[in-house]
Amino acid sequence: MGLQKFSKVTNYFSFVKISHTVFSLPFALIGFSLAVKYGGGKVSLRLLLLVLLSVLFARNAAMGFNRYADREFDRKNPRTALREIPADVIKPISALLFVFINALFFMATAYFLNFLCFFLSPVALMVVLGYSFTKRFTHFSHMVLGLGLALAPIGAYLAVAARFDILPLVFSCIVIFWVAGFDVLYALQDIDFDKSEHLHSLPVVLGKRNALLLSALFHLIAISFVVIAGIFGKFHTLYWIGAVLFSILLIYEHLIVKPGNFSRVNLAFATMNGMASVIYAGFVIADLFF
C-alpha cells in the first residue's frame, strides 16, 4: 500500500514536471531577497516558506490545467502521447481536482502573506491558467507563458514589501523575454503537429529559421534587461559574474539548436535554462547580502 501511494505521488510529480520549478523558483528568491534588502522587509522563515509554497501551488495549478486543457492534443501528438492523462495514468477529473486544490492552496498562502497578495491572487491565477488556451487563438502564447513566470519575482517582492517597486519589475522583464525565447525553441519540436491541428505558435507563422532568429532576439532583450537591472540596482562584482554566466548559457543554447536539427532542443530548453536560472539567482542573492 505504501509503495502504491508513493507511485501515485511520483505520477503527479511527473504530471506537473516538478523539476521545471527551477525556472521560476530562483527568480522568486531574487524577489524575496530584493524585498529584504531594499523593501524594508525582514528575513523571516515563515514568509520564505509561504513564498516558496505559493510558487509551488501556482505552478502546480498552471501545469496541471495545461495538461488537462491539452489532453486531446497530447493524445494525438506522438511526442506527448505518453503523458499521464493520454496514457490513462491520471484521470481527467483527478487532474482537474488537483488543479482546484492547488489553486485554493495558492490563494490561502496569499491570504497569509498580506492583503495585497490575496487581492491579486485571482489575477495571477487568470494569467497562469489562461495561458493554456492561448495557442488556440494567438501566435504569442510564448509571451503569455513568460508573463506567467514573470509573476514570481514581483509576487515574492510584494509578499515581503507589500508594495510595487521598479527593480523587481525589471527582473520580471528579464523573465518574460528569457522564457519566451526558450519556449519558442521548445515549440520547434511541434511545428508540423501544430500546423496540422491549426494551433498557433511563432514557429508556425515564421518558419524554423526565423523562429530561431526571434528566439535569439528575445534572449538578447533578456540580457539587455539583465544589464539594466545591474545598473539600476547598483549591483557589484558578484552580480556581473552571474550576469556574464547567464548570458553565456543563453548564447550557447542558440549555438546547439540548428534549423535542420532539433535533437538538442531538450538540452537547450531544460538543462541550459535551468542552469542559467540557478546560477544567475545565486550570484544576484550573493551580491545583495555579501
Q: Does a structural domain hold residue 12?
A: no
Task: Round the average pLDDT of the chain to a whole number and report it.
Answer: 93
CATH number of the domain bearing residue 140: 1.10.357.140
| 201 and 142 Cβ atoms separated by less than 8 Å | yes
The pLDDT value recorded for residue 6 is 63
Q: Does a structural domain hold residue 70?
A: yes
Average pLDDT over residues 171-181: 98
Average pLDDT over residues 69-76: 97
Largest CA-CA distance found in the chain, in angstroms, rounded: 56
| 280 and 245 Cβ atoms separated by less than 8 Å | yes
Q: Does a structural domain hold residue 233?
A: yes
- Model confidence over 251-272: pLDDT tens digits? 999 888 877 777 777 777 778 8
Q: Does a structural domain hold residue 98?
A: yes
Q: Does a structural domain hold residue 9?
A: no
Number of domains present in the structure of the chain: 1
The pLDDT value recorded for residue 173 is 98
The pLDDT value recorded for residue 5 is 61
Q: Does a structural domain hold residue 92?
A: yes
Burial 170-187 (b: 16+ CB within 10 A, else e): bbbbbbbbbbbbbbbbbb
0.85 exceeded by the pTM? yes
pLDDT at 113 over 90: yes
Closest CA to 242 of 255, 232, 229: 229
Considering only residues 41 and 241, tell me which one the structure prediction assigns the higher pLDDT: 241
- Model confidence over 5-28: pLDDT tens digits? 666 788 998 999 888 888 999 999
Give the structural domain span for 40.
19-289
Cell numbers 526571434 correspond to: 214
Phi, psi of 272 (to 5 degrees): -65, -45
Q: Does a structural domain hold residue 102?
A: yes
Q: Does a structural domain hold residue 13?
A: no
pLDDT bin (cut points 50, 70, 90) of residue 126 is very high
